Amino acid sequence: MERIINDIVEPEDLKKYELLYNDQTRRGHASDKAQFDYAWCLVRSKYLEDMKRGVALFEDLIRRAKDDIERRDYLYYMSIGYTKIKEYQQALTYVKALLKIEPNNYQALELEKYIEKKMKKEGIMGIAIVSGAVLALGGLIGLGVAMSKK
Amino acid sequence: MAAGPYNYSYIFKYIIIGDMGVGKSCLLHQFTEKKFMADCPHTIGVEFGTRIIEVSGQKIKLQIWDTAGQERFRAVTRSYYRGAAGALMVYDITRRSTYNHLSSWLTDARNLTNPNTVIFLIGNKSDLEAQRDVTYEEAKQFADENECSAKTGDNVEDAFLDTAKKIYQNIQDGSLDLNAAESGVQHKPATPRNPLNTDQTPSKEGCAC
Ligand SMILES: Nc1nc2c(ncn2[C@@H]2O[C@H](COP(=O)(O)OP(=O)(O)OP(=O)(O)O)[C@@H](O)[C@H]2O)c(=O)[nH]1
Ligand SMILES: [Mg+2]
C-alpha cells in the first residue's frame, strides 16, 4: 500500500489532464471522464493543494454517480486522497463505505489496514473508533458537505 | 528482515496488461503470495506487488504494476507503461474477444514503452480446457506465448521468470542501456527509498520474500 500511496503523478500527465478538464469547463461543462482523469492526477500530486482539489472533484463526482460500480472507484480514490492529506478519519470512512459495496475488495482491505496503522502510529485512534463506525452511503453526501465547510 | 539494505542487485519494473477479467490480478497474487482468489473484484486503477527472484545467480527484485482492464481506467493505467522493463500481456483462453483485443494492447505497449521492453504473451485459465476458445497453435502464430493458470499455479512462475531472463540477457549483451532514463531496470540503487522495516504487515509490498 505504501507504494500506491507514495506514487507521484508525472508532471506531464497532470498538465495534460488539467488542460483537457479546463478546456471542457471553459466550453461549458467538463465530462465525468475528464473530471475523473484530472482528479486522479491531482490526488497523486506532490502538493497538498492539488490533493485537496482532487478529493473535492471526486466528492463532486460521487454526488452524481449512477451506480455502486462508479461509486466504488470514487470512494477508493477519495480514501487514498485523504490518507495522503493525513485526514485519516475521512479516509477510513470512505474506505469502509467501499467495503460495504465490495466486502472482499482486496485493495480496500489493504488500504483500510494501512490507514488504521497510520492512525495508531500517529495516536489519533480514539476518536476514529467512534465515528469510523460504518456509515450508510446516504450519509456520505451530507458528510461531504460538512467536510467541505471546514 | 532488517539485515542489509539490499538483498538483490537489480530491480525490474513490470506491467501486467490485458482485458478485464482475464486474470491479471490473480496472476499477480499467485506469483507473489501463491494464493488464488476465486472471487476477485475488478481492479481499481492499479495494484502493486513485489517479489525477489533469481536469474543466473543474480537476485532480482520485480516491481509489478497490475493494471485495471476496464476501459474507464485507460487514462490512469497508461501512465504506468512508462519505464517498464517487462510487459505481461494477458488474455483468457476461454474468451476469444480477449484474444482479439491483443493487437490493441500490443499497440499501446509498443507506443508507450521503450523499444527494449520485453513483451510476453500469456494465455491464462489453462485449467479450463473444456471451455477453450483459442487454440495454443493459433496463439503461437501470433507471438511466442506461455499458457498458464492463476488458479492451479501451473506455469505462472515461468511467465514471470522467462520475462526476467530475457531482460537480463538484454542487459548482458548490451542491448538494454541501464543508464537510459526509461529502461525500467535499476542496478542496486545507492540509498533505499523505503527502509524495509517500516512496514510490519507481511503484505505483498512488505517484501517478506
Ligand atoms: N478457472 C480460472 N479462473 C481464473 C483464473 N485466473 C483468474 N480467474 C478468475 O477470473 C476472474 C477475473 O480474474 P481477475 O484476476 O480479477 O481479472 P483481472 O484481469 O485482474 O480483471 P481487471 O482487474 O478487471 O482488469 C476471477 O473471478 C478469477 O477467479 C484461472 O487461471 N483459472
Ligand atoms: Mg485486476
Full set of structural domains in chain B with CATH: 4-200 (3.40.50.300)
pLDDT in tens, A3-22: 999 999 999 999 999 999 99
Smallest Cβ–Cβ distance between B48 and the set A4, A17, A73 belongs to: A4
Mutate to test the interface with A, among B44, B46, B200 (most CBs of A within 10 A): B44
Our CA-based measurement puts residue A37 at a distance from the nearest CA of chain B, in whole angstroms, of 7
Our CA-based measurement puts residue B140 at a distance from the nearest CA of chain A, in whole angstroms, of 34
Instruction: Using alpha carbons, list the distances in angstroms from residue A105 to A95, A100, B17, B96.
Output: 10, 10, 20, 27
- Per the model's pLDDT, the better-predicted residue between A146 and B125 turns out to be B125
pLDDT of residue A122: 84
pLDDT of residue B178: 83
pLDDT in tens, A49-78: 999 999 999 999 999 999 999 999 999 999
**Ligand 1 atom at shortest distance from the alpha carbon of B124:** 31
The residue extents of the domains of chain A are: 2-118
pLDDT of residue B189: 56
pLDDT in tens, A91-101: 999 999 999 99
pLDDT of residue A150: 43
* Chain B residues closer than 8 Å to A54 by CB: none
What amino acid is encoded at B202 in this protein? P
Contact B56, B44 (CB under 8 A): no
Which class in CATH covers the domain with range A2-118?
mainly alpha
Burial profile B116-130: b = 16 or more Cβ within 10 angstroms, e = fewer: bbbbbbbbbbbbeee
pLDDT at A135 over 60: no
Smallest Cβ–Cβ distance between B203 and the set A1, A40, A72 belongs to: A1
User: Cβ B37–A106 below 8 Å, yes or no?
Assistant: yes
Chains A, B: CB contacts within 8 A come to 54
pLDDT at B5 over 80: no
pLDDT in tens, B21-54: 999 999 999 999 999 988 889 999 999 999 999 9
What's the gap in Å between B94 CA and the centre of ligand 2?
A: 17
Give the ipTM: 0.82
pLDDT of residue A130: 46
pLDDT of residue B194: 52
What would the mean pLDDT of A76-81 be, rounded to a whole number? 97
pLDDT of residue B192: 52
What would the mean pLDDT of A138-147 be, rounded to a whole number? 50
pLDDT at A40 over 80: yes
pLDDT band at B201 (very low <50, low <70, confident <90, very high): very low
Which of the listed residues B26, B93, B99, B149 should we mutate to test ligand 1's pocket, taking the one with most ligand atoms within 8 A of CB? B26
- Looking at the complex, does the CB of residue A4 fall below 8 Å from at least one CB of chain B? yes
pLDDT in tens, B130-186: 999 999 999 988 887 889 999 999 999 999 999 999 999 999 998 888 877 788 898
Instruction: Enumerate residues lining ligand 1, CB below 6 A.
Output: B 20-26, 38-40, 42-43, 68-70, 124-125, 127-128, 149-151
pLDDT band at A124 (very low <50, low <70, confident <90, very high): low
pLDDT in tens, B75-113: 989 999 999 999 999 999 999 999 999 999 999 999 999
pLDDT at B2 over 50: no
